[in-house]
Amino acid sequence: MNVKIKAVGTVLMAVAACACVVARFPSITAQESALAAAGFILPTGAVQALQHGIADTAVSSKQPAVSSAAPVSRSSSASDSSSVVSSPAASAATSSLPTGSGATQQLPDKSLGNQILETDISDTGEEQDGIRVKNANKNHTLDVASVLKEKPPLNIKLDGTPMVLIYHTHTTEAFAGVTRSRDLTKSVVAVGNAIAKSLQAAGIGVVHDTTVHDYPAFNGSYTRSAKTMAKNLAKYPSIQVTLDIHRDTMTSKSGTRYKPTVLVNGKRACQIMIISGCDDDGSLGFPNWEQNLRLAVRLQKGASQMFPHLMRPLNFGSTRYNEQVTPGSLLCEFGTEVNTLDEATYSGALFGQVLAQQLKVLAQGQ
């Protein structure tokens, strides 16, 4: 964490979580979507200092953490109408693919007006084995070095067979100037397209499902996206990894909106957070969480090597978010509502490269 953020973090950063609160469209303000989990980005001590201050106003965005959908089966029937192999008709805004590892540069805090602060939060959380993590669990520790020694139970092939499913529980989440959009070229779907393009370029088969799950009703989004997962896993039983791609929101009690950004090869990219859940007290019905964590830690490590400071700390807490469906299921947050679409799609392309590299390592049995 840079010095300036350390100095003001406990005063300003009262709210950090996924920008998924508001179910009514089309107009949603930053204050209306301000959310609760400061633990996503702040050290434990700062979180404790903030708990009393935010208790009355904070609203959790991930509702529900445990989907009420029936258990997902790979043998259930699948519909052809809502999923496509590779990208849908897609995104004119998607950036050109970067190539290889990139020179990254941390950006200094910069006020952009309208209560927007461009900042870097890649150095927050706890450092372990060259990566940053935030463990919010009460009953489980996280030893990154030990987790890295455990291979994810994934059978990866590099012959174009579908290996990855990309989908969006909160499909209408969008970026600066829009916030929510049913236009798939402006929402998180465009980020999914960018990830898919990088995977395809690496020879990895991908399915991108663009089904809208949060409109017209927001409540029940995770139940609906679990059904979408079931359809795709039935149709493409080869799928090993499922990624739920979101956009975050970080707003302080004073109304400051945070724009987590890094410079990669001279171009701005939004910072990314991986959420890997844990059945901390055994109540979530999530027995395979350790297997998901193996993939999450490998991705975090790979990103730190390829594109330092691209990632926010890995969020490891008592959540599920449909990650119980496969041993390779993760949720990823790309930037916030004040990052631009170009920054988000660029990060999608970079993250796709990281994922492709790690899947190739797994395909080699490592």
The pLDDT score that the predictor gives to residue 45 is: 28
For residues 261 and 271, the answer to whether their CB atoms sit within 8 Å is: yes
186 or 72: which carries more pLDDT confidence? 186
The pLDDT score that the predictor gives to residue 366 is: 79
The pLDDT score that the predictor gives to residue 13 is: 39
Find where tokens 């994810």 sit.
152
- Residue 232 reports pLDDT greater than 50: yes
The two beta strands, 116-119 and 110-111, are antiparallel
Return d(Cα 13, Cα 131) in angstroms, integer: 22
Domain count, the chain: 1
Q: What is the arithmetic mean of pLDDT over 6-30?
A: 36
Q: What is the arithmetic mean of pLDDT over 220-234?
A: 98
**Structure token pair of residue 67:** 């989907």
pLDDT averaged over every residue in the chain: 80
The pLDDT score that the predictor gives to residue 100 is: 52
Min mean pLDDT across 35-49, 59-73, 226-240, 279-293 is at 35-49
* Percent over 90 (pLDDT), the chain: 71
Chain segment 51-91, per-residue pLDDT in tens: 222 222 222 244 344 443 333 333 333 334 334 444 333 33
28 or 97: which carries more pLDDT confidence? 97
Select from 268, 288, 305, 287 the least CA-distant residue to 118: 268
- Residue 42 reports pLDDT greater than 60: no
Which domain CATH number covers 290? 3.40.630.40
- Residue 16 reports pLDDT greater than 70: no
91 or 150: which carries more pLDDT confidence? 150
- Residue 258 reports pLDDT greater than 90: yes
Return d(Cα 14, Cα 31) in angstroms, integer: 12
Supply the pTM of this predicted model.
0.79
**Structure token pair of residue 46:** 């700062």
What domain range is 198 assigned to? 3-363
Burial class of residue 27 (count of CB atoms within 10 Å of its CB; 0-12, 13-18, 19+)? exposed
Return d(Cα 348, Cα 272) in angstroms, integer: 9
For residues 152 and 228, the answer to whether their CB atoms sit within 8 Å is: no
112 or 90: which carries more pLDDT confidence? 112
Task: Concatenate the DSSP letters of all residues of 209-244 into one string.
Answer: E----SSS--TTHHHHHHHHHHHHHHH-TT--EEEE
Select from 274, 325, 264 the least CA-distant residue to 297: 274
Min mean pLDDT across 24-33, 110-119, 247-256 is at 24-33
pLDDT band at 201 (very low <50, low <70, confident <90, very high): very high
For residues 10 and 28, the answer to whether their CB atoms sit within 8 Å is: no
